[in-house]
Structure 1
Amino acid sequence: MLHLHSESTKRWLVQVDNHLDELLLDHAHCERKAASTAMNLMNAYTENLDICREMATIVEEELEHFFMVIDILKKRDIPFRRIAPGPYGRKLTALIRQNDPNRAVDRLLVASLIEARSCERFRLLADHVADREPELSAFYAGLFESEARHHTTYVKLAEHFTSREMVRERLTELSKLESEIIAEGSELPRMHS
């Protein structure tokens, strides 16, 4: 369902154990950036009302998630602040082809893969902290469905620009490259490190 070519490793769970506060900060930034990405796509393809409608829904949901994470940070006395982004998003964005309609397809599919990886990580995190942090576990388990839906929405919208077959072929290519990026990891403890 998620079109991922790899699963997260235990290396990431070590980062969870050692840097949960920083991962929560990064998660807030991820939700903010996801809302911004959806808004940028809405602006770029404003003549496509299907994209506009779906992006408006995603913007709303991502901002709701942002404020939910902000509330968790407040409860934990973690001040919200800027942090350096990890390399994951930059490396994925570098894979986007430059000319439309290929650019539109890639922008949507890169967004879909980020949502898919988030979905996979949220499920992993929910299971990992279940015994010691049941409230946090429930929060992350609850995000799974919307992230999976966002992934599917982005894939479906890519079909506005090319055939389903071409979308699936490009998604497979990008997913393989995404798995290489996630395997490289990052020393920065991030949701996508």
Structure 2
Amino acid sequence: MLEKYTDLLAPIYQFLACETPESWITEATRAERLPLLLIDHMHCELKAAQSAAFLIRKYAIDDESAQALLGWLKPYEDFIYRSIGEGLFSGSKNELIGELKAKPEFAYNQDIMDKMVRLIKEELHHFEQVLDIIRAKRIEVEYVQASRYASGMIKHIRTYEPAALVDKLIIGAYIEARSCERFAKLAPHLDEDIARFYVSLLRSEARHYQDYIELAHQVAQATDRQRCDVDGRIAHFREVERELIESLDGDFKFHSGAPKVESPN
């Protein structure tokens, strides 16, 4: 199933400092873990869309456009965080195109907006796809707390611009790359319907990681290369991410580290 994705996955494995521990894969593929794995995956898709929206709002668009963007995400946030609605998202994901206007200060603002809007559309579509699988398997949708993974990297973000923006983009790249790697690791061990779905996500996740890295380099080129230090920060977060993935973690989630809890009976 994964043979034709070898070339696509090779840069992912080079970018990441480690592969997912076998202990995590063993735990994740237990039947008892499937509901939590799918529900947390669905949450992660929304968080990825929210993170991209934050970057657009903070750096790339004006206040009026920001409000339009928040309105696009609201039905998904209402469903997950406030139990509002039935989870039937009828609005077209193309409605936002043309409504947002990039700030003129930096040329890269337009590219941030374009790449992140595309990412948001895809992540929300993936959210709906995971939700369909959850419903088909009669799993109850519930809110779950985020794992330590993203917050463990966020605390390393520098406090001054444009370095902070570069760090946020690099973190986005690692989250997308790790997601791609885990989809590939999990697919051979899961039921055929979920396996096909996870394999179908590989191309978009790989492209998302590349988009984030390209944007980080664009910001550095347009501002101050030395102050941004893209390559140095990639190396820094590579080790931070590796520690989060390889160290023992008592909170099993889609992006958690090596499990230290006993497997459920």
TM-score, normalised with respect to structure 1: 0.94
Q: Which string of whole-angstrom CA distances, capped at 9 and with x for unpartnered residues, describes residues 91-144 of structure 1?
A: 011111111111000000001000000000000011222xxx111111101101
Structure 1 residue 15 displacement after superposition: 2.1
The one-letter amino acid of 1:36's match is Q
Structure 1 residue 160 displacement after superposition: 2.2
- Larger displacement relative to structure 2 (18-27 or 30-39): 18-27
TM-score, normalised with respect to structure 2: 0.69
- 1:5-154 equivalences under 5 Å are 5-18=17-30, 19-46=33-60, 47=103, 48-129=109-190, 133-154=191-212
Q: Distance between the aligned counterparts of 1:72 and 1:7, measured in 2?
A: 27
| Structure of greater Rg | 2
Q: Which string of whole-angstrom CA distances, capped at 9 and with x for unpartnered residues, describes residues 160-190 of structure 1?
A: 2214893222112211110011112422221
Q: Distance between the aligned counterparts of 1:52 and 1:17, measured in 2?
A: 37
Percent identity between matched residues is 36
Q: Distance between the aligned counterparts of 2:217 and 2:25, measured in 1?
A: 35
Q: Which string of whole-angstrom CA distances, capped at 9 and with x for unpartnered residues, describes residues 28-73 of structure 1?
A: 0000000000000001111211101111100000000000000010
For 2:244, which of 159, 181, 184 is the aligned residue?
181
Instruction: Say if 2:184 and 2:199, in contact at 8 Å, map to a contact too.
Output: yes
Q: Distance between the aligned counterparts of 1:160 and 1:148, measured in 2?
A: 19
Aligned residue for 2:169, secondary structure, equals helix
The one-letter amino acid of 2:24's match is W
Q: Distance between the aligned counterparts of 2:161 and 2:194, measured in 1?
A: 41
Q: Distance between the aligned counterparts of 2:242 and 2:126, measured in 1?
A: 25
Q: Distance between the aligned counterparts of 2:216 and 2:247, measured in 1?
A: 27
RMSD: 1.4
Instruction: Say if 1:25 and 1:73, in contact at 8 Å, map to a contact too.
Output: yes
The one-letter amino acid of 1:28's match is M
Instruction: Say if 2:29 and 2:186, in contact at 8 Å, map to a contact too.
Output: no
Instruction: Say if 1:86 and 1:186, in contact at 8 Å, map to a contact too.
Output: no
Larger RCO: Structure 1 or Structure 2 (Cα < 8 Å, ≥ 6 residues apart)?
1
Structure 1: state its 5+ residue gaps: none
Partner of 1:172: 235
The one-letter amino acid of 1:141's match is V
Instruction: Say if 1:158 and 1:167, in contact at 8 Å, map to a contact too.
Output: yes
- Larger displacement relative to structure 2 (18-27 or 114-123): 18-27
Q: Distance between the aligned counterparts of 2:162 and 2:214, measured in 1?
A: 15
- Larger displacement relative to structure 2 (5-14 or 102-111): 5-14
The one-letter amino acid of 2:251's match is L
Partner of 2:253: 190
